[in-house]
Amino acid sequence: MANPATSLKDISVGQQNCKVFGRLIRLWDAINMRSKSADPLISIDGILLDEHITVPKRFAKQFRPLLNKGSVYLISNTVAIDAKRKTNIYQCQNYILQFKHDTRIQPLESRGLTIPKFFFDFCPFDEVLGKNISSKPLIDLIGVISYIGPYDFVSPTSDKKLRRIKIQNLEEQTQDVLLWGQYGESFNEDATLHKSKDEIVVAIFAGLTAGKFSAITEASSSSATEIYIDLDTPQVREFRTSYQWERPTLEQQLPKVIRLTPIQAAGKMYTLSEISAMPISAFQGGATYSTTAKITAILSSIKWYYIGCHRCDKGYSNNSDSPRYESGSLDAVAFSFVAKDLVELDAAQASQNMKIDPADHPTALNNAIGKTKIFAIGMNTDTSSKFPISYVLKKSFTIEPTMSVPMLTDGELRASSKSTPEISLADKTPTEKTSSTTKRAIDFTKDSIEETRRYIL
Are 330 and 391 in contact by the 8 Å Cβ rule? The answer is: yes
State the amino acid at position 291 in one-letter form: T
Looking at the structure, tell me whether residues 161 and 79 fall in a common domain: no
Exposed/middle/buried for 126, CB within 10 Å: 0-12, 13-18, 19+?
A: exposed
> For residue 174, what are the contacts with CB-CB under 8 A and spacing of at least 6?
125, 146, 166, 167, 168
Span 328-354, pLDDT tens digits: 557 788 877 787 778 777 666 665 555
Number of structural domains the chain divides into: 3
Looking at the structure, tell me whether residues 87 and 129 fall in a common domain: no
Looking at the structure, tell me whether residues 45 and 73 fall in a common domain: yes
Q: Would the pLDDT of 272 be above 80?
A: yes
Span 46-91, pLDDT tens digits: 888 767 889 999 999 999 999 999 999 999 999 999 888 788 888 7
Across 354-361, average pLDDT: 57
Q: Is the pTM of this model over 0.85?
A: no
Looking at the structure, tell me whether residues 338 and 448 fall in a common domain: yes
DSSP letters along 36-49, please?
-SS--EEEEEEEET
3-state secondary structure of 164: strand
Angle at 239 between CA 21 and CA 27, to 5 degrees: 30
Alpha carbon distance 270, 289 (integer Å) = 7
For residue 178, the Cα-to-chain-centroid distance in whole angstroms is: 13
The answer as to whether 379 is a domain residue is yes
The answer as to whether 325 is a domain residue is yes
Q: Whole domain around residue 181: which residue ranges?
A: 125-242
The answer as to whether 101 is a domain residue is yes
Span 365-410, pLDDT tens digits: 777 788 888 889 999 887 766 666 788 888 888 876 655 544 333 3
* 350 against 23, higher pLDDT: 23
3-state secondary structure of 209: strand
Span 134-144, pLDDT tens digits: 888 999 999 99
Span 361-374, pLDDT tens digits: 667 777 778 888 88
Q: Which residues of 203-236 are buried (b: 16+ CB within 10 A; e: fewer)?
A: bbbbbbbbbeeeeeebbbbbbbbbbbebeebebb
3-state secondary structure of 51: strand
Select the highest-mean-pLDDT range: 100-114, 318-332, 379-393: 100-114
Looking at the structure, tell me whether residues 68 and 134 fall in a common domain: no
> Which CATH number fits the domain that encloses residue 89?
2.40.50.140
Alpha carbon distance 374, 228 (integer Å) = 43
Span 429-456, pLDDT tens digits: 333 333 333 222 222 233 333 333 332 3
The answer as to whether 203 is a domain residue is yes
Looking at the structure, tell me whether residues 293 and 437 fall in a common domain: yes
Cα separation values, 392 from 45, 257, 330, 379, 397, Å: 37, 27, 10, 5, 15
Looking at the structure, tell me whether residues 211 and 300 fall in a common domain: no
Q: How many residues does the chain have?
A: 457
What is the per-residue pLDDT for 276?
Answer: 87
Looking at the structure, tell me whether residues 376 and 450 fall in a common domain: yes
The answer as to whether 171 is a domain residue is yes
* 306: confidence class by pLDDT, cuts 50, 70, 90: low
* 3: confidence class by pLDDT, cuts 50, 70, 90: low
DSSP letters along 64-124, please?
GGG--TT-EEEEEEEEEEEGGG-SSS--SSSEEEE--TT-EEEE-SSS-TTS-S----BPP
Looking at the structure, tell me whether residues 88 and 40 fall in a common domain: yes
* 35 against 193, higher pLDDT: 193
The answer as to whether 248 is a domain residue is no
Looking at the structure, tell me whether residues 78 and 157 fall in a common domain: no
Question: What mean pLDDT value characterizes the chain?
Answer: 77
Looking at the structure, tell me whether residues 224 and 297 fall in a common domain: no
Beta strands in 149-288 (DSSP E): 152-153, 161-168, 174-180, 202-213, 216-220, 226-229
Looking at the structure, tell me whether residues 291 and 214 fall in a common domain: no
Are 92 and 49 in contact by the 8 Å Cβ rule? The answer is: no
Are 378 and 294 in contact by the 8 Å Cβ rule? The answer is: no
The answer as to whether 274 is a domain residue is yes
For residue 260, the Cα-to-chain-centroid distance in whole angstroms is: 25
The answer as to whether 257 is a domain residue is no
Task: At 421, give phi and psi (nearest 5°).
Answer: -55, 145
Domain final position from 46, 76, 107: 107
